[in-house]
A = this chain, B = another copy of it.
């Protein structure tokens, strides 16, 4: 059997089975956004690693080196935030084709540094090696929790509200625009530019996660949206042993996203539901806490929206369309690294 048949999640499950966790200090190994260790100071340290491969995860025709640097840091910071932790340090591994102009690397580091400043991360070291052909960037980021408060995918309970920060679908639509340069798009160029920007320079909800971790609100599970709402929601559901309703009519869209979808006959709901790389936080919360949390975030300036509710039936995501139709999705579709139509 080859990897493209096994698929990414099949592979992860298989590799998990290979790895015995030995030390009592490992609170959580493979299987969430980060691995977690206890540390002497009484809080947890979390660690995540993400690799970006040229022609798989990025294309140097569309990303500037600065954007590539930024995105590398942001996607890892987002994983740390999803645990309720603050990112602290990062170590980078760069694989660089030999004929790369040094100027290119300088620009890449400019983007890395800008993101490290934004998310208050110290880039402390790493390894640089040559590659036969393609660029490779692997970043490992360490974070620390507030006391022992840790958000994982496991913990959502029936009746909990399902919430999301920011808006959905911008990145997926931005990617679509990048990939269809010859298509005649209707509407304002500024809208399309905004969406492309959201794809190329995603933000990470580091401050919002820290605010939640320091709050009294009963957050019961959390993940960051990288594979797409439908698929990432399912990760929470599987880990927690519950189901969920997701309401199409409640999904938060940016004005640019709405404009481009409306002007070009795109189905906004589905794009937002299945599109990847939003890097927003998806989390569940005791329903009694929803009102106060939403009010607080209005003041804070980051939109947070309830988009559904957790149910007891373990039947995956129930997608409630704006027209009232209900669709049960047992194995939601999203981005899968090893399947063509994964």
Contact = CB atoms under 8 A, between A and B. Distances in A.
Interface in A44-61: 47-57
Contacts of A8: 128
B128 A18 contact: no
Given A8-B128, A48-B125, A125-B47, A91 B40 contact: no
A3 interface: yes
Contacts of A55: 132
Contacts of A106: 14, 18
A53 B128 contact: no
Nearest to A89: B37
Copies of this chain assembled into the complex: 2
Interface in A9-38: 11-12, 14-15, 18-23, 25-26, 28-31, 34-35, 37
A49 B113 contact: no
A136 B35 contact: no
Interface in A211-250: none
A319 to B, nearest CB: 28
A283 B41 CA distance: 32
Interface in A254-281: none
Nearest to A97: B3
A95 B2 contact: no
A56 B337 contact: no
A132 B56 contact: yes
Nearest to A18: B109
Nearest to A50: B127
Main SS at interface, chain A: mixed
Contacts of A34: 125
Q: Which 10 A-B pairs have the closest CB atoms?
A: A40-B41, A35-B125, A35-B124, A18-B109, A140-B140, A138-B138, A51-B93, A93-B138, A30-B125, A49-B91
26 contacts: A1-B103, A2-B99, A3-B98, A3-B101, A8-B128, A11-B102, A11-B128, A15-B109, A18-B106, A21-B124, A25-B122, A29-B122, A29-B124, A34-B125, A35-B89, A35-B125, A41-B41, A47-B91, A49-B92, A50-B93, A51-B136, A54-B132, A127-B138, A130-B338, A131-B134, A131-B136
Interface of A: 1-4, 6, 8, 11-12, 14-15, 18-23, 25-26, 28-31, 34-35, 37, 39-42, 47-57, 88-89, 91-96, 98-103, 105-106, 109-110, 113, 120, 122-134, 136, 138, 140, 142, 337-338
Given A3-B98, A18-B113, 16 more contacts: A3-B100, A3-B101, A3-B105, A18-B110, A21-B124, A23-B89, A29-B122, A31-B125, A34-B125, A35-B124, A47-B89, A57-B129, A93-B138, A93-B140, A133-B134, A138-B138
